[in-house]
């Protein structure tokens, strides 16, 4: 497809936000076959990982801040509207079943509240005072890290939340998919800006921008959980059995790490109250569940640290 001429309106849009510009590669999508649309979207999606990779250093800085805050008993709080807000809530909601965190440790705040998860709440994102109130409602403080998610970079609700979070002493970050202004970089402790370019459907940021957001949030929360002792090797050992799937996963982790047959893994997991991390320490150090839990608490929850402690 022929790219737009440099002096065309498409090439020089009034709106400088990348998320609102037209993508010349998809200008004729309404005349494409289903297979051509699949190929086009797939080709655009392949660019997302590279854009996220270019933000590796600010992502790593954000992780370090999150780990520091969690180590002080603080929280990671995502704030967004629309797709951005839903992705923040999604990532936060995955932490308790996957890593055994308390529900308040990682939180997702979305403009419009719970109803906005299921149905768009038009206008909710336009009220910065509501974002500020959400920070007050959650008692945000100096030990918390608040990450605003606004792919266009302009969402008033998010900026209102970040301003109030800073006033309350929290560290803040901003995740967007367009060029960050000097003010954004000056005001926040870290800015993450994967430039995924214009969307296949103009302004539909649930697509490439949404994918980039999901990748960044996955990386931040996963790395933070690893560095706070929620993982042993590459196993999610801090899970607690709450359903049949997790029961099976817990048993298989014990079978793999301890070389146990299924029957013994079942009995050990039951003795540990369904907590895999406790079960591993029990078996490796010949302790009962209470003793194992105390050792883990003293080591900040790290199985590796418990097992390499002298006398352990």
Residues carrying an active site annotation: 94, 125
Between CA 167 and CA 153 the distance in angstroms is 20
SS3 content of the chain, % helix, strand, coil (to 5): 55, 10, 35
Helix (H, G, I), strand (E, B) or coil at 71: helix
Between CA 122 and CA 106 the distance in angstroms is 26
Between CA 154 and CA 125 the distance in angstroms is 10
Helix (H, G, I), strand (E, B) or coil at 96: helix
Angle made by CA atoms 201, 202, 206, in degrees to the nearest 5? 65
Q: Are 153 and 184 in contact (CB under 8 A)?
A: yes
Between CA 63 and CA 275 the distance in angstroms is 26
Cα separation of the two ends of the chain: 66
Measured torsion, CA atoms of residues 115, 119, 125, 131, in degrees rounded to the nearest 10: 20
Residue 173's DSSP bridge partners are 147, 190
Between CA 183 and CA 270 the distance in angstroms is 54
Residue 106's DSSP bridge partners are 76
How many C-beta atoms surround the C-beta of residue 5 within 10 A?
10
Helix (H, G, I), strand (E, B) or coil at 137: helix
């Amino acid at each position: 497809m022929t790219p737009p001429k440099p002096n065309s309106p498409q090439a020089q849009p009034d709106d400088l936000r990348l998320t609102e510009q037209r993508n010349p590669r998809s200008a004729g999508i309404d005349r494409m076959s289903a297979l051509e649309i699949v190929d086009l979207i797939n080709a655009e999606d392949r660019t997302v990982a590279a854009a996220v990779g270019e933000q590796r250093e600010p992502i790593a800085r954000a992780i370090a801040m999150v780990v520091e805050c969690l180590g002080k008993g603080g929280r990671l709080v995502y704030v967004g509207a629309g797709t951005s807000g839903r992705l923040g809530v999604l990532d936060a909601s995955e932490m308790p079943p996957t890593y055994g965190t308390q529900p308040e440790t990682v939180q997702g705040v979305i403009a419009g509240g719970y109803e906005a998860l299921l149905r768009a709440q038009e206008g909710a994102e336009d009220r910065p005072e509501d974002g500020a109130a959400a920070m007050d409602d959650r008692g945000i403080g100096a030990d918390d890290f608040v990450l605003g998610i606004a792919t266009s970079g302009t969402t008033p609700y998010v900026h209102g939340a970040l301003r109030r979070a800073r006033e309350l002493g929290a560290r803040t970050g901003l995740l967007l998919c367009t060029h960050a202004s000097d003010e954004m970089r000056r005001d926040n402790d870290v800015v993450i800006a994967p430039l995924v370019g214009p969307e296949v459907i103009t302004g539909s940021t649930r697509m490439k921008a949404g994918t980039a957001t999901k990748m960044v949030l996955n990386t931040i929360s996963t790395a933070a959980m690893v560095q706070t002792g929620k993982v042993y090797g590459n196993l999610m050992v801090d899970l607690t059995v709450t359903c049949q799937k997790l029961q099976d996963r817990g048993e298989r982790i014990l079978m793999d790490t301890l070389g146990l047959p299924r029957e013994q893994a079942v009995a050990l997991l039951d003795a540990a109250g369904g907590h895999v991390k406790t079960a591993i320490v029990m078996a490796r150090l010949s302790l009962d569940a209470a003793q194992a839990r105390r050792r883990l608490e003293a080591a900040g929850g790290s199985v590796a640290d418990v097992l390499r402690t002298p006398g352990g």
